[in-house]
Amino acid sequence: MRFCYLLLLFFLFIFFFFVVVILFVFFFFFKQKTAYEIGVRLVGSEMCIRDSNSASDGRSSDGRLNVVSSFSIINEISQEVGGKYVNAHTITAIGADQHDYNPTPTDVKRTQDAAVVFANGLNLEKGGSGWFDKLMKTTDKHYGKQIFNVTDGIDTIKLTTAGVAGQDNPHAWNGILEGKTYAANIAKVLEKKDPKHTAYYAKRAAAYEAKLQNLYEKWNAKFSTLPADDKKLVTQEGAMAYFARDFGLKPYFIWEIDTESNGTPSQIRTLVESLQGEKVPATFVEQGESDKPMKTVVSQIDSHIAGELWTDSVSKKSGVVPTYYDLLNHNAETIYNGLTGNDK
């Protein structure tokens, strides 16, 4: 009798165990629904019930033009140019990885309601999971109508790494002179979409471009005094190619563009071999990236890590580089101080 009782308890335990496992699996996969999938459903329902902030005219309830950008740096420039007449939103959150991002329900709604979507172009938004194109398709946005590339007209630098050789290096925003083109392109689109305030946008764009030009001239005067042997810009990722071109520096990197294989032994060995026997005043790492690959490099050459560069995002308002101008100035100062030995 006792054996039967124990056997019954055993089977009850097995039954409840499987019930718990099934419930856990169901709950886990339900929770794993991405914000993008949820957002699509939200948009689908909202398309039938438009509110006062609807996308019918691309304006917010207070009359400002709804403007969305693929990541924070473009968003920051659009705010500088658009001023009080734009309602700006960045899809990729500050500090998030723009290569593999999951849009939130807010991102989906703001994109749906936008009159303008600013993208970098140069294949930046084509990478990763393809989230940007999926979002644009879902929200029925079209290139040339609502989506505009802010890099139009830039003299692009070509990638050299096998597999992507010949493609455009997308990181044009890290060049100060290229930043002026971003501002000019954004102004042209805003003027077309909101002709009532054309003079306002043109004036703000001109002032911002002049501000960037002054920043360039300030640092160019300094970089131009460096000896030729010191004009090496060694970074982990090849995201500073446009900055290097602006100031006559020679760029070196461990990996040229983000892939699933960053900082491999082969990449490190290639960089070390190219720098051996060379004078290398300093090396630099990117904010948000592990510095282990560069530490391996500097352990094999006579150099050191001089500082951290912000290459993919502005910081929060309380952070180091809350604006695009701050980001450019910070990077120039960090690099110049490193190359002149003033970082120590």
Tokens (6 digits) for 82: 């658009």
- In this structure, are residues 253 and 306 in contact, taking their beta carbons and an 8 Å threshold? no
Q: How far apart are CA 303 and CA 202, in angstroms?
A: 46
CATH architecture of the domain 225-339 equals 3-Layer(aba) Sandwich (3.40)
The string of pLDDT tens digits covering residues 173-195 is 999 999 999 999 999 999 999 99
Residue 216 has pLDDT above 70, yes or no: yes
Q: 230 pLDDT band (50/70/90 cuts)?
A: very high
DSSP character string of 32-83: T--HHHHHHHHHHHHTTS--TT-TTTTB-TTSPEEEEESSHHHHHHHHHHHG
**Strands across the sheet with 147-149, in order?**
86-90, 65-69, 116-119, 147-149
Q: For a pLDDT cut of 90, what percent of the chain falls above it? A: 76
Per the CB < 8 A criterion, the answer to whether 264 and 256 are in contact is no
The string of pLDDT tens digits covering residues 241-295 is 999 999 999 999 999 998 777 899 999 999 999 999 999 999 999 999 999 999 9
* Predicted local distance difference test score (pLDDT) of residue 22: 61
Q: How far apart are CA 206 and CA 302, in angstroms?
A: 44
Report domain extents, the chain: 46-149+157-216, 225-339
Cα 134 to Cα 326: distance, rounded to the nearest angstrom: 32
Give me the phi and psi of 143, to 5 degrees please: -60, 135
Predicted pLDDT of residue 32? 40
Strands 305-309 and 65-69: unpaired
Task: Work out the average pLDDT over 223-247.
Answer: 98
Give the pLDDT score at 21.
52
SS3 labels along 201-240? HHHHHHHHHHHHHHHHHHHHHHHCCCCHHHCEEEEEECCC
Does residue 7 carry a pLDDT above 80?
A: no
CA distance 154 to 208: 18
Query: In CATH, what number does 46-149+157-216 get?
Result: 3.40.50.1980
The structure's pTM equals 0.85
- C-alpha 52/C-alpha 46 separation (Å) is 12
Q: In whole angstroms, give the CA distance from residue 182 to residue 93.
A: 20
Tell me the pLDDT band of 78, cut-offs 50, 70 and 90.
very high
Task: Kindly provide the b/e burial profile for residues 185-215, where b requires at least 16 CB atoms within 10 angstroms of the residue's own CB.
Answer: bbbbbbbebbeebeebbbebbeebbeebeeb
Q: 86: Cβ–Cβ under 8 A, 6 or more apart, which residues? A: 64, 65, 66, 67, 78, 79, 190
Alpha-carbon separation of residue 158 from 169, 255, 297, 339 (angstroms): 6, 14, 25, 25
What is the residue-averaged pLDDT of the chain? 88
Q: Do domains 46-149+157-216 and 225-339 have the same CATH topology?
A: yes
C-alpha angle 213-219-289 in degrees, rounded to nearest 5: 100
Q: Tell me how far apart the alpha carbons of residues 95 and 137 are, in angstroms, rounded to a whole number.
A: 25
Distance between CA atoms of 163 and 244, rounded to whole angstroms? 23
pLDDT band at 149 (very low <50, low <70, confident <90, very high): very high
For residue 2, the tally of other CB atoms under 10 A from its CB is 6
Q: Provide, rounded to the nearest whole percent, the portion of the chain with pLDDT above 70.
A: 83
Higher pLDDT, 153 or 31: 153
Mean per-residue pLDDT, 210-222: 98
User: What is residue 143's DSSP assignment?
Assistant: B
Residue type, 140: D
What digits encode the pLDDT tens for the residues 9-57?
555 556 655 555 565 544 444 344 444 444 444 444 444 333 434 445 8
